[in-house]
Amino acid sequence: MKNTLRRLSTCLLLAGLCGYAVAAQAHDSVVLVAQSSNRQIVSIGHNSVLPAGEKAQDVVSVMGSTTVDGDASDSAVAVMGNVTVNGAVGNGGAVAVMGNVYVNGTIDGDVVAVFGNVKLGPQALIRGQVTEILGTLESSPTAVVQGGTSSFLPVVFGNFEGMHAWVEDCLLYGRPLAPTLAIAWAWWLALAMLALHLLIAAVFRDGVQRCVQTLQTHPGPSILATIIVTLLVPVLLLALLITVVGIAVIPLFWIALICAGIFGRVVALGWLGGRCLRLANTGMASRPVLDVLAGSILVLALYMVPVLGFLVYVLLGVFGFGAVVYALLRAVRPEPARPGAGAGRPGVSTPSGPSGTGAPADAAPPASASAFGSSGAGAAASVVSPQAQMGTEPPPNGPSAAAAAPPALDVATLPRAGFWIRMLALLIDLILVAVVMGWLFDHGSSVLLVLAAYGALMWKFKGTTVGGIICDLKVVRIGGGPLDWSTAIIRALGCFLSLVVAGLGFIWIAVDREHQAWHDKIAGTLVVRVPKGAGLI
């Protein structure tokens, strides 16, 4: 039994490395000759045959079948293939992973079949043990097994000939499907998934349509959501394992991921089919079931194209899953309030009428401007003059109107700076600091530290940096008031946290409602875009 486990672990290792081997030696047979007289026959993507009257030490096939009619002094192995022994095999025995084993000769070791069947002919002599896992055992009355037999979960999957055909006709060509009846099971599986996708589109019509619209209008954030979830899944699983109590949640967590993946594929198919139908008939209304059907038919055709088939399969999963995750994020977070529509942005109070019920601003002049009403650093808001309160202020077209200062810029109404414009400003600052460091000190090992100090100083005194001036960006506090030293320093130190976790804190700008990075949330700041000519400094 010890030899059986050793051989089985060796075969599983070969199965794990077969993908790399196929990329290097697809459809080529390799014969390795050792320094001794015994040779080792190893074939990748091809059958290995040891003819009668010849000798070898090992006969191995990866994604191919192994036939031993001669004398193999050690073992006969096949991964994703069958093993046939009509001659003799040594103590290494005969092992097939995802394949069948037929023996009508002599084997000194064990016979093992994983996801396959074992058949012993009338002249079979096995001095070891016969083990079949997830298969069947058929033995001739005259066959001799000295070590006994054992079975684990027999007749669960049955014959794996269809899997071998899929490996040869699909996997080696980089496609999920092929136009052949040898893989009829794969076509039936594809049609069953098509029916499931249509059922999901019919039952969850509104959800599919909403996710399709998210994928159409926000393709970039959808892909970004997929990347973020991929990075966070291992961290979350580790956290659940550490807490011990969370171990019970892990199955539910995986079920949720699988359901989101299936639903995401439905969304991707609906998006693809909808675009094709709109190109054919621009006046056709969006119908999720019809869109998914059209997308599925197109995708099934693309699945048969070598290399492109697997590429389409992967891309559909990525786009669809990201669209579902991003649509969920948009659904759970509150919609941003519109200025002048009853509620402003954070830190901005909405003026109310005399009754205090939120009447329009022109019903009663506000007592003060917004907390963001400064030129960007959060200076004190302008106060209505006593003359205006007493009704004695000169008319607007009087002499004092010409000398009056222009109204303060309300930063609360300015658009938040997006991901790409902020990255451009950061790149400009990084280049500037790197050039100065190289010019003054002839090394750049402390560029990040100098960049953080530079940013803190510029934010404190100017509310922006050189890159921000070029890109018309301004850093402001959410609660109003000027950027003090503590806020600037905390924001600068928070940048390291945003950077150290694979840059996820900066990527968060693209998905956050207020386009805040992690260091913005820590320091309580916003980055806004100021119109040209408004005066950044």
Give the total number of structural domains in the chain: 3
Q: pLDDT below 70 — which residues of the chain?
A: 1-38, 153-161, 245, 280-286, 332-412, 439-445, 532-537
DSSP string, 269-294: HHHHHHHHHHHH-TTPPP-HHHHHHH
C-alpha to C-alpha distance for 47 and 57, rounded to whole angstroms:
17
Same-domain status, 94 and 198: no
Same-domain status, 24 and 49: yes
**Residue 385 has which token pair?**
């003059």
C-alpha to C-alpha distance for 81 and 44, rounded to whole angstroms:
11
In a domain, 363, yes or no: no
The β-bridge relationship of strands 39-44 and 28-33 is antiparallel
In a domain, 66, yes or no: yes
**Residue 211 has which token pair?**
């996710």
C-alpha to C-alpha distance for 375 and 408, rounded to whole angstroms:
7
Q: How buried is residue 8: exposed, middle or buried, by Cβ count under 10 Å (0-12/13-18/19+)?
A: middle
pLDDT attached to residue 532: 64
**Residue 111 has which token pair?**
């016979």
pLDDT attached to residue 83: 93
C-alpha to C-alpha distance for 389 and 533, rounded to whole angstroms:
32
319, 268 in Cβ contact below 8 A? yes
Same-domain status, 117 and 222: no
pLDDT attached to residue 359: 40
pLDDT attached to residue 12: 47
**Residue 301 has which token pair?**
């055709």
In a domain, 446, yes or no: yes
**Parent domain of 127:** 2-162
Same-domain status, 423 and 492: yes
Helix (H) or strand (E) holding 2: helix 2-25
Q: What is the pLDDT of residues 289-327, one digit of tens each?
A: 888 998 999 999 999 999 999 999 988 888 888 888 888
Same-domain status, 155 and 184: no
- Greatest C-alpha distance within the chain: 121
pLDDT attached to residue 163: 72
pLDDT attached to residue 349: 42
C-alpha to C-alpha distance for 537 and 530, rounded to whole angstroms:
11
The phi and psi torsions of 172 (rounded to 5 degrees) equal -70, -15
**Which residue, 162, 190, 225, sits at the end of a domain?**
162
- Residue among 265, 246, 282, 274 nearest 318 (CA): 265
pLDDT attached to residue 224: 82
pLDDT attached to residue 374: 37
**Which residue, 162, 189, 210, sits at the end of a domain?**
162
Same-domain status, 201 and 90: no
